[in-house]
A = this chain, B = another copy of it.
Amino acid sequence: MSTRGQDPVAATVERVVAHLREHGHRITMPRRAVVDTLARAEGHPTVEQIAADVAERWPGMHLTTVYRTLETLAELGVVTHVHLAAGTAYHLADPASAGAGTHHVHAQCRSCRRVIDLPDGILDGVRRELAASEGFALEPHHVALSGLCRGCAATG
- The residues of A with any CB-CB pair to B shorter than 8 Å are 83, 85-86, 107, 109-110, 116, 118, 122-123, 125-126, 129-130, 134-140, 142-150, 153
Kindly provide the distance from the CB of A156 to the nearest chain B CB, expressed in whole angstroms: 10
Interchain CB contact under 8 A, B130 and A147:
yes
Interchain CB contact under 8 A, A116 and B139:
no
Please report the C-alpha to C-alpha distance between residue A123 and residue B122 in the assembled complex, in whole angstroms: 11
Query: Given A85-B83, A122-B126, A153-B135, is A110 in contact with B142 using a C-beta cutoff of 8 Å?
Result: yes
Interface of A is mostly: mixed
Interchain CB contact under 8 A, B146 and A134:
no
Q: Which of B129, B140, B153 lies in contact with A137, CB distance below 8 A?
A: B153
Interchain CB contact under 8 A, B136 and A150:
yes
Q: Using Cβ atoms and an 8 Å threshold, which residues of chain B touch A134?
A: 107, 116, 118, 149-150
Q: Using Cβ atoms and an 8 Å threshold, which residues of chain B touch A116?
A: 134, 136
Q: Using Cβ atoms and an 8 Å threshold, which residues of chain B touch A146?
A: 83, 138-139, 142-143
Q: Which residue of B lies closest to A83 (CB)?
A: B85
Interchain CB contact under 8 A, B149 and A139:
no
Please report the C-alpha to C-alpha distance between residue A130 and residue B148 in the assembled complex, in whole angstroms: 11
> 17 additional contacts, CB 8 Å, given A130-B147, A134-B149, A142-B147?
A83-B85, A83-B86, A83-B146, A107-B136, A107-B138, A110-B142, A118-B130, A123-B126, A135-B150, A136-B148, A136-B149, A136-B153, A137-B153, A139-B147, A139-B148, A140-B145, A142-B146
